[in-house]
Structure formats: C-alpha cells, structure tokens
C-alpha cells in the first residue's frame, strides 16, 4: 500500500515537471536533425533551412504544450497578458541590447564579404525563429511545472530559474571548440536564460522573452560578419570592456529581485470584494491579536485620511436609483438580467446574507452565528459546516417574509471583469474586479467615486449614521 502511494507521488511529480523531460527530448531531436543536414548545406541555404526547422519544431511543441498543460488555444500561451510587466523585468536586456548595438557599430573596422541573402536569413529569419523555438523549449516547457504546484514560493521560483540557467548555458556551451570559450558562453547564455526565466515566472508571459531574445540575437550574431574590429577607438574600448560588462553584471541581480518578488500573474484571478458590512463573512483562525508596531504605523495614513474626510465631508446625497443611472451613464455598465442564472445565484446568496445580518430571528434555532471552538482541522471543518447549514436555512426563508431589491451591473474589457451590486432597501453598494494590479486599482478608484456620488445627507452627518460611517471608511481606504 505504501509503495503504491509512493508511486502515485512519483507520477504526480513527473506529470508536473514533464516539461523538463520534453525539453531535453526536443533538443536531442532538434540537434540530431541539424547535425545530419548541415554537411549538405551552407550559407543562406543553411540559414533558411535552420529557420524552417526552428519554426516547425516551435509549432509542434506549441501544439504539445497546449495539450499537455490543458490550454484551450494557442493564444492562451502566446498573448499580451501582463506584457508591460514582462517588459519591466526585461528592461535590463533592452538596455544591454542597445549598448551592444552601439558598441558593435562603433567597433566595425571592416566587414566580411557576404550577401544580402545571408544577412537576411541569418539575422532576421533564423533569429526570430530562434526566439520562438528556444523560449518555448527552455522557458515554457521547463518552467510551466512551477505554475502547477500547489505550494509556490520564491525559492521554488529560484530553483526553476536556475534550471533554465543551467540548461540554456549548457546547450550553447557544448558547441564551443575549447573549454575557455565554453565557460564564457555558458555564463553569458545562462545569465540571459535566467533573465528570460525571471520574466516568465513573474509575468507568465512567454511573448516578451521571445521578442527580447530576437532583438538581442541580431547584434550578437551580426558580430560574426565583422572582419576587422576598430580596436584603436578609445570609446569602443571603454564601452566594450567596462560599460557592457557592468550592465551585464546587473542583469542577474535585477532578475533575481523579480524572482523573489510576488509574481504579477497571481493577481490575475484575484477578485477584490468591496462593500461595507457586505454579504461576505471572514474569520481568522487563532483569534485576534494585538496589532504589531509596524501594523499600527501602516494604519496611520488611513486614520489621517479618515479624520480629513470627517472634517470636510458635505451633504450631497443621491438616491440608489440615481446611483444606478450614474454607473451606467458615466462608466458604461450593463445591468445583469434578473432572470439569468448569474443574477439568481448572487441574489439567493445575498438575500440569505442580509437575512442573517438584519433579520436573524427568522432563522429560529440558527439565529445566533456559529462560533469556532478550537483551531484544529476538525474544529474548522465543523465551523464551516455550521456556516453552510445556516446559509441554506436562510435561503429557504420565503421571499414574502424577507426580500431585497438587488441590481447587478457588470463590465468586461479584455481580461478585466468588473461588477457592482446595488441593494436599495438597505443601502448596500458592493462589487468586485478581476484582472491585473492596474485593473484592481482602477476598480478601487471607481468604487470610491461611486460611493462618493451616493454620498450622505445632512441628517446622516448630524447623527453619524451607518451610511455616513460607511462613506468615510470607503473614501479613506487605499
């Protein structure tokens, strides 16, 4: 029995990291074909064949990647999602490529006698397909296993990025004629592989490494066509020996910072729920503890903003009906059909939550909220079962005894989803958003603006009503 369990664990680990095994197999097959054909081709013919080989291997690997890692279509693999974040991680490669291009241009003494066909096939065709194939092979396949792990951490990302460093450095170093050159190539290409891995692990975007790989390879491979270097130039000497080296040394340091940093893609499916005293209940295992000094310091800006709004808030309230018109006219939201399954599900859950909050007496023996006795797994499980049972009892309360006036609005833009829930009887405004960090910030700003428009009346300010307190807390949050 124990051996079967161990076999299942081994199978699970192998499945998660099957991409590493496939990476090695793809490379062996690729090099076998390349070595078999190269003796028969030369010049532009070889470069065009090599480009076609990279393209075909890349397309086949892309299809396999989609199948193995359960992607629906190729755009789930190659897309512009978190593109800007990936560019930010790879900004060092962009700087290094620009400097390398300048150094190469300054260092040209004379070029070898060649043709346009060779230059085009080598610098454009081969390098763009190299970026496509190598990034799929040595980044997507090698690193995708990380995203299938249940426990993700910075040291786990570092382990995967290090594997990419080693693999990428080795496959380039073995082509060298002597050990000294092999070490230089291993460090150079391995470092670039580490940076490209950092981009993918941080943004889960493979398009950025593909593009940066392509643009870097152009000046790097152009140097083979330089016959004589302009070594007498002092500027070339300084840039080539000092500036380029300094920038190159900074590349892995900057990449390491992003490997350690929380990846931006982890915010992709995060839904931020807003709404004071809303329908979502949260409990913390272990109870409440006295805030630490750092926590108290972090709360100071919120308290300052809260005090400012309490002093400067003015009476300019609007009805919930006016708020509904506002989010449609100003922000372009569409109301969800109240007969739709989406609406009915949210309505049922929210009505039950409002019953528990405003009319718990209707729940009979379940009127009191359940308490968690202990923090062990069994206690937490019983607690969650009691919450679920109470929710079910609340949902069975007839609408004649308790009902709400709920309106749901949504707005979808590319990979961003935003929704608002407005309840008129109890003055509830809530909502949520899913997308990048920028999308979440955009929603939070929008949410504060909607709440500000809802506003308060003079009576709310004088009596410091719940509507007043909700508005102050909402505006003060950041």
pLDDT digits (tens, 9 = 90+) for 13-28: 555 689 999 999 999 9
Q: Containing H/E element for 118?
A: helix 116-120
Give pLDDT, residue 34: 96
**What is d(CA 303, CA 312) in angstroms, rounded to the nearest whole number?**
14
pTM above 0.85, yes or no: no
Whether the per-residue pLDDT at 166 is higher than 50: the answer is: yes
Identify the residue with better confidence: 70 or 123: 123
Spatial neighbors of 53 by CB under 8 A, at least 6 apart, are: 30, 33, 34
Is the CB of residue 255 less than 8 Å from the CB of residue 97?
Answer: no
C-alpha dihedral (179, 184, 189, 193), degrees to nearest 10: 100
- pLDDT tens-digit readout, 404-419: 999 999 998 777 888 9
* Residue 15, pLDDT score: 59
Q: pLDDT value at position 282?
A: 40
Contacting residues for 281 by C-beta, under 8 A, at least 6 apart: 353, 387
10 has a pLDDT exceeding 60: no
* Average confidence (pLDDT) over 60-64: 96
* DSSP codes joined into one string, 284-302: -TT---PPPHHHHHHHHHH
Residue 293's pLDDT band, with cuts at 50, 70 and 90, is low
- For residue 252, the model assigns a pLDDT of 96
**Residue 477 predicted with pLDDT over 60:** yes
The pLDDT of residue 86 is 95
Q: What is the pLDDT of residues 368-394, one digit of tens each?
A: 888 877 777 777 888 888 888 988 999
Q: How far is CA 174 from CA 54, 131, 197, 211, 472, in A?
A: 19, 19, 21, 25, 65
Residue 266: what pLDDT?
66
> Which of these ranges, 100-109, 318-327, 372-381, has the smallest mean pLDDT?
372-381
- How far is it between the farthest Cα atoms of the chain? 93
How confident is residue 7, by pLDDT bands cut at 50, 70 and 90? low
What is the chain's mean pLDDT, rounded?
Answer: 88
Q: Strands (DSSP E) along 129-205, which ranges?
A: none
Taking residues 315-343, report their average pLDDT: 93
């Amino acid at each position: 029995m124990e051996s079967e369990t161990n076999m299942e664990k081994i199978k699970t680990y192998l499945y998660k990291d099957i991409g590493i095994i496939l990476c090695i197999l793809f490379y062996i097959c690729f090099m076998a074909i390349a070595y078999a054909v190269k003796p028969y081709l030369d010049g532009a013919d070889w470069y065009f064949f090599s480009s076609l080989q990279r393209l075909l291997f890349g397309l086949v690997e892309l299809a396999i990647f989609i199948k193995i890692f359960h992607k629906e279509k190729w755009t789930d693999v190659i897309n512009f999602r978190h593109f800007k974040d990936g560019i930010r991680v790879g900004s060092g490669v962009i700087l290094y490529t620009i400097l390398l291009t300048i150094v190469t241009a300054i260092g040209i003494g004379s070029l070898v006698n060649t043709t346009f066909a060779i230059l085009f096939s080598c610098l454009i065709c081969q390098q763009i397909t190299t970026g496509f194939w190598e990034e799929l092979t040595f980044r997507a396949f090698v690193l995708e296993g990380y995203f299938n792990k249940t426990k993700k951490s910075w040291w786990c990302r570092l382990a995967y990025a290090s594997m990419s460093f080693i693999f990428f450095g080795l496959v380039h170093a073995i082509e060298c004629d002597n050990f000294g050159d092999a070490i230089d190539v291993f460090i150079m290409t391995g470092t670039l592989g580490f940076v490209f891995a950092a981009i993918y692990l941080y943004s889960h975007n493979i398009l950025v490494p593909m593009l940066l790989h392509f643009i870097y390879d152009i000046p790097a491979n152009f140097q083979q066509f330089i016959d004589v270097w302009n070594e007498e130039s002092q500027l070339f000497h300084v840039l080539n020996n000092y500036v380029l080296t300094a920038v190159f040394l900074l590349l892995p340091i900057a990449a390491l910072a992003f490997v350690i940093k929380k990846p931006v893609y982890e915010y992709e499916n995060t839904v931020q729920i807003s709404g004071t005293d809303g329908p979502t209940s949260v409990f913390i295992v272990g109870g409440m503890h006295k805030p630490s000094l750092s926590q108290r310091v972090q709360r100071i800006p919120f308290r300052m903003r809260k005090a400012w709004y309490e002093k400067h808030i003015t009476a300019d309230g609007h009805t919930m009906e006016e708020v509904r018109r506002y989010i449609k006219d100003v922000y372009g939201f569409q109301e969800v059909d109240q007969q739709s399954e989406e609406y009915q599900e949210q309505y049922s859950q929210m009505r039950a939550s409002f019953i528990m909050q405003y009319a718990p007496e209707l729940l009979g023996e379940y009127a009191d909220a359940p308490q968690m006795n202990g923090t062990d797994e069994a206690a937490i499980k019983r607690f969650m079962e009691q919450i679920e049972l109470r929710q079910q009892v609340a949902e069975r309360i007839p609408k004649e005894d308790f009902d709400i006036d709920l309106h749901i609005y949504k707005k979808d833009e590319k990979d961003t989803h935003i929704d608002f829930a407005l309840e008129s009887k109890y003055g509830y405004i809530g909502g949520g958003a899913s997308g990048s960090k920028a999308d979440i910030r955009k929603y939070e700003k929008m949410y504060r603006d909607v709440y500000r428009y809802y506003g308060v009346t003079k009576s709310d300010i004088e009596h410091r009503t719940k509507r007043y307190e909700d508005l102050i807390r909402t505006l003060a949050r950041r």
